[in-house]
Each structure stands twice: as C-alpha cells, then as structure tokens.
Chain A
Amino acid sequence: MEHEILFAGFGGQGVLLAGRMLVYAGMMAGKEVSWIPAYGPEQRGGTASCSVIISDEPVGCPIVTKPSALVVLNEPSLDRFEAAVRPGGVLIINSSLVRRKCMRTDVEAFYVPMNDIAAECGNVRYLNMIALGSLACAIAAVPDEFLQKAFVKQFGGKPGMVEANRQAAMIGAQCIKNARRMAGVR
C-alpha cells in the first residue's frame, strides 16, 4: 500500500511540520518514507506545500503529483490541487477558511473547521495538528502508537506541549470518525 499525500496551505500554517511528523511516525513504524517541500519561488503569505510518501515499497519519485490524500488549509490550495487527487482518494478541507465545497464526486471529502477548533483549543497555531490528526485517522497509514512517538519527538523538550498538541490531533481524528459515522461509510 502506498500513501501519496499532499499537505498544502499558506506559509505559517505549519503544513511542513505536520508532514514531517507523519513521516517520522511512518519511519518509526518501519515504512519506507519520504518528505519534500515545494521549494519553488514561494513567497510569504503564498502557498506552502509538502509531499509525503508512506509506502511498503521503496519510494521512487518523492514529489507527489497525483495524491491519494490531499489536505488543504486554505482555498487557493483547494483550487490548485483538487483536480489532482486520485479517484477514490481522500480530501480534507479546512472549512474555517475554505468557503466552497469540493467539486469532485469521486473522492471522500471531509470538512474540518480547523481554525475554529484550534481557537477552542486555546491557540490557532494548533491548526496543523488538527490537520495531522484528521489525516492520520482518515488514511490510517501509520498505527497510532507511532504517531504518538512523533509528538514526543517534536514537542518533548517543551513542557505541556506534547499533551496539548496531542489533544488537538485527537479532536481532528474525532471529526473524521464522526463524519464517517454520519455518512455510514465505516
């Protein structure tokens, strides 16, 4: 099974970190992994994105052009990447900032109001952790215990941060579970 993931948003939303933590979890789980940022002529406030691959087979090209899962934290990212998602893939949309719906009917789309949830968690900066939790739950690429290791690795040096970020991710995951229950998908 190969998960080819694209995380996209605007600079400062933390898409690169969210992608890196998922890759760390994948590595700890013994998967073949790669991470690469889009490093084109990006500008402050412009789009930021990264490609993440978690696979049972060695990774070929690290740059994801046809994602099996797409996470968009802002509307320009949805506009830019929506058409690229593979049929049957997963699309997670930050509905706090993205005002429109997904136009695809052949993908599983989730709407998570990430900024609003993050604000309830106490800081809008948790939004990438909510995105990470949602994605990890939706695609189940990595067992949860390894994702937990990523929180310890990333935030272990800062007291209280592991738990706070983990909580945010759990709420993200819960949103996916609820949506699937409502849709009767699983």
Chain B
Amino acid sequence: MSEKVLMKGNEAIGEAAIRAGCLYYFGYPITPQSELPEFMARELPKRGGIFLQAESELASINMVYGAAACGVRAMTSSSSPGFSLKQEGISYLAAGELPCLLVNVQRGGPGLGTIQPGQADYFQATKGGGHGDYRLLVLAPDSVQEMYDLTLLGFELADKYRIPALLLSDGALGQMMEAVRLDHEVKPVPDKPWAVTGRRDRETLNVVQTLSLDKDTLEEHNRVLQDKYALLRKNEVRYEALNTEDADLILVAYGISARIAKSAMAKARAAGLKVGVFRPITLYPFPEEALYETAQTTKAYLVTELSCGQMVEDVERVTHSQQVHFYGRTGGNLPCADELFDQILRIMQGKEVGGRAR
C-alpha cells in the first residue's frame, strides 16, 4: 500500500488526470478551481504534456473538442459562471461523441454569485445545459480521494462510451486538503480507430462533425446517442447507501452535502433515531432503482443540497413518496451537522422543515 499524501481536491483532480494519460489541459482561470490549472501549468510541461490557458472559456472548450477529435485524452475545468460559457461546446462534444473530462467546481449563483461553494448547477449538469438531446456522465465526488478516483473513472468511461464525462464538484471539496492514496491501477487508454489522425493506410476518411442536414441521418444519430445513455443507465449507476435498510428517514445528498448528512446521521443514530444516508455518486445516470427500493421500507426522505432544490425533483420523481422534505442553503453557506440534525428532529416530530427553500 502506498503512502498517503495531503492534497487539495483541485490538485487531486490534476494528478489523477495526468496519471490517466491526459496530457492536454485547456482552461481559463476562475475561483474556486484555479489550483487545478495552476497544478497543470506546473506539472504538465514536466510530464510531457501541454497546458494551455485559452483566451476564454469558449475557446478552451473548443480546444478540448479539437484535441478529443484527435483521439487524445483532454480536459477542461471551470466554476459555475465559467462553466455556463462552455455549454455550447459541450453540446458539440456530445454530438461529436467525443470522450473528454469536464470539471465544474461549483460556486454559489446565479450570475457571478459568490466564490464560495454551491451545488446549484445540478439541473445544468444532469438535464442538459446546452441545446439538443444529450446527456453527460455526471460523477459527484464527496472527498478528495474521490476527486482522484472519479477523475480516473471519468476518463475511462468517457472513452468506453465515447461521451463527455463531467466531474461535478464544489468549492469546498476543491479547496480542502485531505489524505489521498494514489495507488490505483490505471487502465491503458483504448485504441480510437475513429480518431482524426490523418488518412494513413485507412480505406476511408475519419471525420468528426456535428452538422447533419439530412433528417433521417440526424434522427438515427439521436437514436445512437439515446442507446448510449440507456447503456449508461443500465451499467454505470453508482451510489453509496448507509444504514438505509432499517431507516425511518433517509437523507439524500451528494458531494459536500453528503459529508454533512453523514455527520448528522451519526448524531441521529447516537440518539436512537433510525436515519440513513443515500448518496448518488453518479448524478447521471441517477441511481433510480436503488433509491426506489428504499421507498418500500422507509417512511420519509430529507434531501439536502447547496441549492434551492434541484436534485430533490429527481428524488420525488423516483420514490413517488409524499414525504420528501428539503433543506437547502445557498449563497456560499454550508449547513452544519447540528442544523441538519434539527431538521431530522422536526421531521420525526411531524413538523414542517425549517429553512425550506421550496
């Protein structure tokens, strides 16, 4: 077993990306993710790669398009307002079936908002932030270790399905330092016979494009994409369920909120209350079946997010439960475990959940 190292979440993403063979980073600085481009600017030239600070977010996402079309592992990162600027390019990447890793270290919005942590880009991430029918594989780490692990997984699955993968993180996870193990085996980058690498001895040209003026061709292309997303829903669902079997109340949360939910759960269990935590790790594909299963035994849910209520809509949709409560904080605020514990008590006593933003 290798030694643990202390790293910021943003740096862990960079280290994982380079170890995954991603030698091309394109981006534009924005707090609270700038340690990631700083890390790449320092490390990539030493390790045989290229770091390029583009003139804008728009330029950087299209540089990723170009690099990914050439068959190399490439990535970009930003934070909420900057990530919004990339949406057009992301739609193109999805349409072009180009594997890459996108990172959004979320901050509070809307607008320029704040540089403090937020989780209000869930809709944008999971429902399609750009135009057209497309989805991203959306991975939501809740620790610095998972920032590392899920970056590796993101590249792997992006190549496997030829889709863009999105690591949806937040300012707290990006800025915090924790112990990380870097001893995971990295699978080799698969061959990409479709990549634009020059004609060479191939019979046909490889072309990556997203314009499709023939109606039936585009409809068929949409079918191919939808089949892909169906495969994701079938094969790539990931989640963590803690103490959900006997739980009267299940907290549902992802990312930084899930850590606080776990602390609140520990407090509730110590007080003799049957509380569990369900944490989606893939936000798309959303762990629908596993969450639906819990609805057969539990009495209520408390969804907590750093938003006014986004993932809660998926929890309502999936569980069909009439007892889906919500507690959100925004503006860069994080709830403390005691705050969530108070909400747990209120629900257990049949009271209205306070601070309800819905």
Contact = CB atoms under 8 A, between A and B. Distances in A.
11 contacts: A27-B4, A33-B6, A34-B177, A35-B178, A36-B172, A36-B177, A39-B175, A58-B262, A61-B172, A61-B259, A62-B176
Nearest to A24: B6
The 3 closest A-B pairs by CB, nearest first: A60-B263, A36-B176, A35-B177
Interface residues of B, number: 23
A37 interface: yes
Interface string A38-68: 0111000000000000000111111101100
Interface in B28-81: 31-32
Contact of B337 (A24, A37, A41, A60): A60
A23 interface: yes
B177 A61 contact: no
Given A39-B32, A41-B115, 17 more contacts: A23-B6, A27-B4, A33-B6, A33-B178, A34-B177, A35-B178, A36-B172, A36-B175, A37-B175, A39-B175, A58-B262, A59-B178, A60-B264, A61-B336, A61-B337, A62-B178, A63-B172
Most chain A CB within a 10 A radius of its CB, from B171, B175, B177, B334: B177
Contacts of B225: none
Contact of B259 (A20, A23, A60, A65): A60
Given A35-B6, A37-B175, A39-B31, A61 B115 contact: no
A63 B176 CA distance: 9
Interface string B329-358: 000001011000000000000000000000
A38 to B, nearest CB: 9
B115 A39 contact: yes
A62 B6 contact: no
B266 interface: yes
A41 B31 CA distance: 11
A24 B171 CA distance: 22
Most chain A CB within a 10 A radius of its CB, from B116, B178, B264: B178
A62 B172 contact: yes
Given A34-B178, A65-B336, A59 B259 contact: yes
Interface in A7-38: 20, 23-24, 27, 33-37
Contact of A61 (B31, B175, B263): B263
